[in-house]
Amino acid sequence: MNFAPSFLKSAVAAKPAGLAQRSRMLEYDQPLVWVVVLLMLFGLVMVYSASIALPDSPKYAGYKSTHFLLRQAIFITVALAAGMLAFRVPIKTWQKLAPYLFVATLVLLALVLVPGVGRGVNGARRWLSLKFLNVQPSELMKLFVVLYAASYTVRKQEFMHKLTKGFLPMAGAVGVVGLLLLLEPDLGAFGVIVCIAMGILFLGGINGVWFSGIGATLVGIFTMVIVLSPWRRERIFAYLNPWQEENALGKAYQLSHSLIAFGRGELLGVGLGGSVEKLHYLPEAHTDFLLAVIGEELGFVGVLTVILMFYWIVKRAFDIGRQAIAIDQTFAGLTAKGIGIWIGVQAFINMGVNLGLLPTKGLTLPLMSYGGTGVLINCIGLAILLRIDYENRVLMRGGRV
């Protein structure tokens, strides 16, 4: 597929004189491409700004100041190439592959827990080391659970109002994923995946009473996980009162310094590169707390710009999904909306954590935070969204895909 801007000839319209009239409909959604690319480039600049001082600390003493910049640039280049390849795959092929991709990622999630195979960082085992790259299977699962849930809903459409044949099998599959993620532990990724699966099932027509009941059950499960885990419980209490001295120097250390960063930024920020919090006060500033650096250096205006760009992506995903369903492409429509739910929920949680609206979770800001697997899988997911939009346009012109 040629990504260069171009117009297609209309299949049916013609001028009175018999000359072919060009259609105003583009081959693909150019604004969506530009918003995604701009977010990644914006993230690249902010990752460099947030990580430039890291080599001054003993932990990163052997790194150059451009280490994270160069690696993130490579990640983005590879992710864009992978996105172009993913765009060329028809949606019908993704639908056929969905169950196999889901099962394969389940195996990877299990391998993470095997001693000597999975790689641990800060007490969490979430990565598989491939020498040149650390793969995080939970990031892969976010996309593949979208494809699997959409595929399952289409295959079981006639049973969606039945508990045993419709809901329980999907709930069991998500439960297995959740168990593996909680063993890592990665409660944040589990929350995103549950939201994706539940959202697609709801859009696919599951019984409203069961949906409400299962939603209440999940809230109870999350509550029990927090209550039975002392360190999670301490983190919740610290989140409720981050300025208490014990909390500010302990579990709420990141949150308190994130809030200080936003406070320093005010309306227009202190200027690009001028953040003080990134100077070893705010841990993981280039990953989980990148938005705090944006808030400090570019102020409310910079944060609002990021929020509006993510809002536009999510809205566009739902528009594409509704369009696909309207032309009887149910799997494509549910997949598009699922991608919107995934990007929207993860961005909301990350922003909520940075702003102190939610307890601290280890979730990155999609497309922007430092990380190879995250950026790669985000690009592939959005390339699938672009493919859905492309196929919608072809079908509406009377063509075939």
pLDDT tens for each residue of 252-267: 888 999 999 999 999 9
* 69, two tokens: 């910049």
What is the chain's length? 401
307 half-sphere exposure, CB direction, 13 A CA radius: 14
Write b or e for each residue in 137-162: b if 16 or more Cβ atoms lie within 10 A of its Cβ, otherwise e.
bbbbbbbbbbbbbbbbbbebeeebee
Q: Reduced to 3 states, what is the DSSP secondary structure of residue 219?
A: helix
Is pLDDT of 16 > 60? Answer: no
Structural contact between residues 393 and 24, judged by C-beta atoms closer than 8 angstroms: no
Q: What is the pLDDT of residues 165-190, one digit of tens each?
A: 777 788 888 888 888 888 888 888 88
The secondary structure element, H or E, covering residue 179 is helix 168-183
Strand partners, 14: 20
Mean pLDDT across 29-50? 95
Tokens 């993230």 correspond to what residue?
A: 43
> Is the per-residue pLDDT at 314 higher than 70?
yes
pLDDT for res 20: 37
Q: Parallel, antiparallel, or unpaired: how do β-strands 7-14 and 20-26 relate?
A: antiparallel
User: Rounded to whole angstroms, how far apart are CA atoms 379 and 383?
Assistant: 6
Which sequence spans correspond to the domains of the chain? Answer: 7-88+233-396
Q: Which residues of 59-93 are buried (b: 16+ CB within 10 A; e: fewer)?
A: ebeeeeeebbbebbbebbeebbebbeebbeeebee
Amino acid at 46: M
